[in-house]
């Protein structure tokens, strides 16, 4: 019980006692006075006095009730005013509304719990709450691997166990990677080695274009192997992303889902093919790789931009792991998605004059994830206007393509991705 409730009870008890004492004394005095007057003529008007006494008793009872109500109300008002003077920690309307918001309660019910389900049927997009809140810690590669591998032989996807490969090229050995690091193992069976992970960390994660302290990007390690479908579900588990969104984006970006040497975005100027200003970063030089007198800037099934025209921009520290390991490629892409959805890309969008709009949308997705977005963006997958959470997830996915927050190019790209998602036209793969 709070201090206000305790104080109110004590005050009401006090006033009741005062009222009972004072009103009782006054009534007894008036009664004695009435009886004294009546005794002088009692023998002559006994019957008349009895009737008058009865009427007086009724009046006294009515008056007592009226006075009691008035005094108690007055006491409560005085007490309430005094409490506001004494305490300055009264919760605001906004605090109360936030604490009792039905959208917040619904989001809490729908979010993934700290313990991954033993037999997850479908991973869906999660709000920035619980384990996926900044500071929530996230899931490790090992946690999601354990949850998925436990039932890989019995979990059915599109009529077959998920541990049966549907993209055979991803399970075939290949020529040594670039640079010639000797890695020839199938991309789905390759984890980044220690040297590649050290290179990924070498610029302090700045090339990720996320805001410090890069909490989600630090968790990228690509430490998983399996079929292409298992890797997709593993990434969905780790980053709180709908697994069909991952499939749809892979289909839009690289329809075959073949990971090895999946280059895109050809450029013909040498300065557009190199990244990293440190002389030790010569490995991120894609000029002439797979194609003469040019390069591919984007790599993997999800076409992450490894280099831009600027030598210090792009996910250049992901090379060559992003080409040689499907798990690392998925891990990096959807760590970026989670970072964006949590508001960790404000610096990037501020530079484009879109930072304020970005943060408002992120705040809406965090506070009322299941509420309808004010942008009224149509979601063909659900045949309804997008929720705040869906809108932010879509906008972050669109920025992967356009580099902007829900501009026309992002919307055009999203129409393609969402069309694949609705049709599930990656099936069978």
Binned at pLDDT 50, 70 and 90, residue 58 comes out as: low
CA dihedral 31, 34, 39, 42 (to 10 degrees): -110
Binned at pLDDT 50, 70 and 90, residue 179 comes out as: low
Q: Mean pLDDT, to the nearest integer, of 49-68?
A: 54
pLDDT of 382:
97
pLDDT of 81:
34
Please state, for a pLDDT cut of 90, what percent of the chain lies above it. 54
Domain ranges across the chain: 3-86, 121-341, 346-423
**Do 260 and 174 meet the contact criterion of CB atoms below 8 Å apart?**
yes
From edge to edge, which strands make up the β-sheet containing 304-305? Answer: 263-267, 295-299, 304-305
356-360 LR contacts (CB < 8 Å, sep 24+) = 357/405, 358/395, 358/405
First CA to last CA distance, the chain: 61
pLDDT of 414:
98
Would you say residue 27 has pLDDT above 70? no
Q: Mean pLDDT, to the nearest integer, of 176-185?
A: 73
Binned at pLDDT 50, 70 and 90, residue 309 comes out as: low
**DSSP line for 327-364:** HHHHHHHHHHHHHHHTTTTHHHHHTTT-HHHHHHHHHH
Query: Which tops the pLDDT comparison, 24 or 162?
Result: 162
pLDDT of 173:
92
pLDDT of 96:
29
Q: Mean pLDDT, to the nearest integer, of 310-314?
A: 65
pLDDT of 79:
37
Q: How many C-beta neighbours within 10 Å does residue 326 have?
A: 34
Query: Which tops the pLDDT comparison, 91 or 125?
Result: 125
Picking from 116, 369, 337, the residue whose alpha carbon sits closest to that of residue 242 is: 337
The H or E element that residue 396 is part of is: helix 388-402
Would you say residue 55 has pLDDT above 50? yes
pLDDT digits (tens, 9 = 90+) for 14-24: 444 443 434 34
pLDDT of 230:
95
């Amino acid at each position: 019980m709070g201090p206000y409730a305790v104080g109110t009870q004590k005050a009401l008890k006090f006033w009741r006692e005062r009222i009972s004492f004072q009103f009782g004394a006054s009534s007894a005095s008036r009664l004695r006075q009435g009886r004294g007057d009546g005794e002088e003529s009692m023998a002559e008007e006994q019957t008349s006095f009895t009737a008058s006494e009865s009427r007086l008793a009724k009046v006294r009872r009515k008056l007592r009730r009226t006075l009691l109500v008035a005094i108690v109300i007055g006491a409560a008002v005085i007490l309430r005013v005094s409490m506001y003077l004494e305490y300055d920690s009264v919760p605001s309307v906004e605090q109360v509304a936030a604490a009792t918001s039905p959208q917040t309660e619904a989001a809490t019910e729908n979010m993934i719990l700290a313990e991954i389900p033993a037999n997850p049927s479908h991973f869906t997009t999660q709000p920035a709450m619980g384990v996926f809140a900044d500071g929530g810690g996230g899931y490790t590669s090992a946690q999601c691997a354990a949850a998925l591998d436990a039932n890989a032989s019995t979990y059915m996807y599109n009529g077959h166990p998920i541990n049966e490969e549907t993209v055979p090229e991803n399970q075939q050995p290949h020529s040594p990677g670039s640079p010639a690091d000797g890695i020839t193992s199938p991309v789905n069976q390759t984890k980044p080695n220690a040297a590649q992970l050290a290179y990924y960390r070498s610029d302090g994660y700045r090339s990720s274009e996320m805001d410090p302290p890069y909490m989600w990007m630090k968790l990228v390690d690509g430490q998983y192997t399996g079929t292409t479908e298992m890797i997709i579900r593993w990434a969905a588990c780790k980053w709180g992303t709908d697994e069909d969104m991952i499939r749809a984006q892979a289909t839009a970006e690289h329809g075959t889902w073949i990971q090895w040497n999946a280059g895109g975005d050809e450029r013909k100027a040498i300065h557009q093919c190199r990244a990293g200003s440190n002389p030790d970063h010569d490995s991120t030089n894609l000029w002439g790789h797979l194609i003469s007198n040019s390069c591919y800037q984007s790599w993997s099934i999800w076409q992450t931009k490894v280099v831009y025209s600027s030598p210090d921009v792009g996910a250049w520290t992901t090379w060559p792991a992003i080409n040689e390991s499907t798990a690392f490629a998925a891990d990096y892409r959807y760590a970026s998605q989670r970072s964006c959805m949590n508001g960790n890309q404000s610096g990037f969008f501020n530079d484009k004059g879109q930072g304020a709009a970005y943060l408002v949308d992120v705040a809406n997705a965090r506070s009322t994830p299941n509420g309808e977005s004010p942008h009224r963006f149509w979601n063909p997958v659900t045949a309804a206007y997008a929720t705040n959470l869906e809108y932010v997830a879509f906008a972050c996915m669109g920025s992967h393509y356009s580099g902007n927050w829900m501009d026309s190019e992002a919307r055009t790209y999203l129409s393609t991705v969402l069309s694949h998602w609705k049709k599930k036209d990656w099936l069978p793969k």
